[in-house]
C-alpha cells in the first residue's frame, strides 16, 4: 500500500540522512541512508533525496523541509548563516529549485558567530523545536554530538554559542591514536567519574592524563571498560571546565540522543546543575515543523 506524506522533514547529517513522512506533526513513516555530504556531489543530492522518499510523494508538489549539512559549502547548496544574536529559526528559508516537479524543497539556514568564530548547522533547528514547545524559556541549551554546542538563550534569541570537538576527539583517540590498543566495549561509572573530576578541576592535565590510560594498560593491566570510561570522563571534564561560564547557575536543557545526552546530564548534576534531557529527533521534527509553518 502506498503512503503519501502531507510534508516531509529531513535532517542531513555528516554521515547520515534521516527523513520522516509527516501528517501535520505526526510521523507516519521514516527512513534513513548513509548518503552524507562527503559521498555526494552537489548534483547528486536531489537523486539521493528521491531515493529515500520517492514512495511518499504524490503527483502534486510536496513540501520537503531540510536542516543540516545539505546547506554547507560542500553540500547541496551553500546557504547563508544567521548571525547571533538572532532567533534560533531564521525568518526566511532557502527555497531550492529541483528538477523533479514533485519536490518543493526548503533549506533551514545555519547559525554563525564571528567573535569568537563559530558555526552550526542542524542544531539551530533542534533549538527552534525546543523553544517552540517552551515559550519564554531562558537558559542554556547543550546539544551533545560529534561537535557539541552550548548556546545561551534569552528573550527568544540565541545570544551566543560555543562548539567543542569532544565527540570527534573521542572518536579519533579510540580509533586512530595509541589509545586504540587500550580501550574497547563496556563502561565503568567509577572510572568515568574519576576522569571527569580530574579535568574539571585541572583541565591543563588533559594531555598527560590521556597517556596515563595507555600506561595503565601496559603496566597495571587496566581493563578496557575502565580505560574507555576514564577517557570519556577526562574529555567531558575538560569540556565542562571550558564551558563553565555557560552552564554555571543556569537552567539547562540537554537535547540529543538519549544515552549521550544522559551522560552529559549526569555529569552536570554532579556539579549541582539543574538539567532536563530532551529527545533530539523529536526536537528536530518540531523545529522543521515550525520552519514549514513559515512557508504554508
- DSSP-assigned states of every residue in 3-52: ---SEEEEEE-SS-EEEEEEETTEEEEEEEE---GGG--GGGHHHHHHHH
90: closest CA among 157, 160, 13? 157
143 belongs to a structural domain? no
Are both 70 and 106 inside the same structural domain?
A: yes
158 belongs to a structural domain? no
Are both 117 and 168 inside the same structural domain?
A: no
Q: Looking at residue 166, what is its pLDDT?
A: 98
Q: Looking at residue 2, what is its pLDDT?
A: 66
State the cell numbers at 29: 513513516
Q: How many domains does the chain have?
A: 2
Are both 123 and 188 inside the same structural domain?
A: no
Q: Looking at residue 100, what is its pLDDT?
A: 95
Q: Looking at residue 235, what is its pLDDT?
A: 98
Instruction: List, run by run, the mean pLDDT of 10-residue segments along the chain (296 residues).
Output: 87 92 94 85 91 94 94 86 95 92 96 97 97 96 97 97 98 98 95 98 98 98 97 98 96 96 96 96 97 91
215 belongs to a structural domain? yes
Domain of residue 39, CATH code: 3.30.420.300
26 belongs to a structural domain? yes
Dist CA 228 CA 248 (whole Å): 27
Are both 18 and 124 inside the same structural domain?
A: yes
Dist CA 137 CA 124 (whole Å): 15
Are both 57 and 40 inside the same structural domain?
A: yes
Q: Looking at residue 169, what is its pLDDT?
A: 98
Are both 117 and 24 inside the same structural domain?
A: yes
Dist CA 231 CA 26 (whole Å): 40
Q: Looking at residue 285, what is its pLDDT?
A: 98
CB 60 within 8 A of CB 110: no
Are both 98 and 174 inside the same structural domain?
A: no
Whether residue 249 has a cis bond before it, omega within 30° of 0 = no
Q: Which residues contact 54 (CB under 8 A, 6 or more apart)?
A: none
Kindly state the DSSP code that residue 180 receives in the 8-state scheme.
G
Kindly state the DSSP code that residue 138 receives in the 8-state scheme.
-
Are both 24 and 92 inside the same structural domain?
A: yes
Structural domain boundaries, residue 192 = 163-279
Element (H, E) at 244: helix 244-247
Domain of residue 225, CATH code: 3.30.420.310
User: Which parts of 134-211 are beta strand (E)?
Assistant: 139-143, 148-154, 157-164
Helix/strand/coil percentages in the chain, nearest 5: 45, 25, 30
Are both 169 and 256 inside the same structural domain?
A: yes
244 belongs to a structural domain? yes
Dist CA 143 CA 287 (whole Å): 14
Can you tell me which residue has the cell 533530539? Answer: 280
Are both 65 and 11 inside the same structural domain?
A: yes
Q: What is the pTM of this model?
A: 0.94
105 belongs to a structural domain? yes
142 belongs to a structural domain? no
Q: 202 to each of 197, 198, 235, how far by Cα in Å?
A: 8, 6, 12
Q: Which residues contact 34 (CB under 8 A, 6 or more apart)?
A: 15, 16, 17
Dist CA 235 CA 227 (whole Å): 12
Q: Looking at residue 45, what is its pLDDT?
A: 92
Are both 263 and 168 inside the same structural domain?
A: yes
Can you tell me which residue has the cell 569532544? Answer: 166
Amino acid at each position: 500500500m502506498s503512503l503519501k506524506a502531507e510534508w516531509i522533514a529531513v535532517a542531513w547529517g555528516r554521515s547520515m540522512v534521516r527523513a520522516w513522512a509527516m501528517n501535520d506533526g505526526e510521523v507516519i513513516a521514516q527512513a534513513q541512508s548513509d548518503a552524507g555530504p562527503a559521498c555526494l556531489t552537489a548534483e547528486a543530492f536531489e537523486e539521493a533525496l528521491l531515493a529515500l522518499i520517492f514512495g511518499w510523494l504524490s503527483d502534486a508538489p510536496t513540501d520537503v523541509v531540510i536542516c543540516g549539512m545539505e546547506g554547507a559549502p560542500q553540500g547541496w547548496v551553500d546557504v547563508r548563516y544567521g548571525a547571533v544574536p538572532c532567533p534560533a529559526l531564521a525568518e526566511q528559508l532557502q527555497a531550492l529549485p529541483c528538477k523533479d516537479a514533485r519536490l518543493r524543497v526548503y533549506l533551514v539556514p545555519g547559525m554563525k558567530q564571528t567573535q569568537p568564530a563559530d558555526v552550526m548547522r542542524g542544531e539551530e533547528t533542534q533549538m527552534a523545536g525546543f523553544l517552540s514547545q517552551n515559550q519564554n524559556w531562558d537558559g542554556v541549551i547543550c546539544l551533545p554530538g560529534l561537535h557539541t554546542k552550548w548556546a545561551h538563550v534569552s528573550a527568544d534569541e540565541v545570544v551566543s554559542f560555543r562548539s567543542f570537538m569532544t565527540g570527534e576527539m573521542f572518536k579519533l583517540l579510540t580509533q586512530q591514536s595509541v589509545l586504540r590498543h587500550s580501550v574497547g566495549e563496556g563502561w565503568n561509572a567509577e572510572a568515568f567519574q574519576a576522569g571527569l573530576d580530574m579535568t574539571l578541576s585541572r583541565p591543563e592535565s588533559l594531555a598527560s592524563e590521556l597517556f596515563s590510560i595507555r600506561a595503565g594498560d601496559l603496566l597495571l593491566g587496566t581493563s578496557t571498560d575502565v580505560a574507555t570510561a576514564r577517557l570519556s570522563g577526562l574529555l567531558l571534564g575538560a569540556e565542562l571546565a571550558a564551558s563553565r561560564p555557560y552552564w554555571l547557575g543556569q537552567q539547562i536543557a540537554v537535547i540529543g540522543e538519549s544515552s549521550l545526552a544522559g551522560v552529559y546530564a549526569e555529569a552536570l548534576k554532579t556539579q549541582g546543575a539543574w538539567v532536563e534531557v530532551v529527545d533530539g529527533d523529536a526536537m528536530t521534527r518540531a523545529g522543521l515543523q515550525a520552519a514549514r509553518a513559515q512557508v504554508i
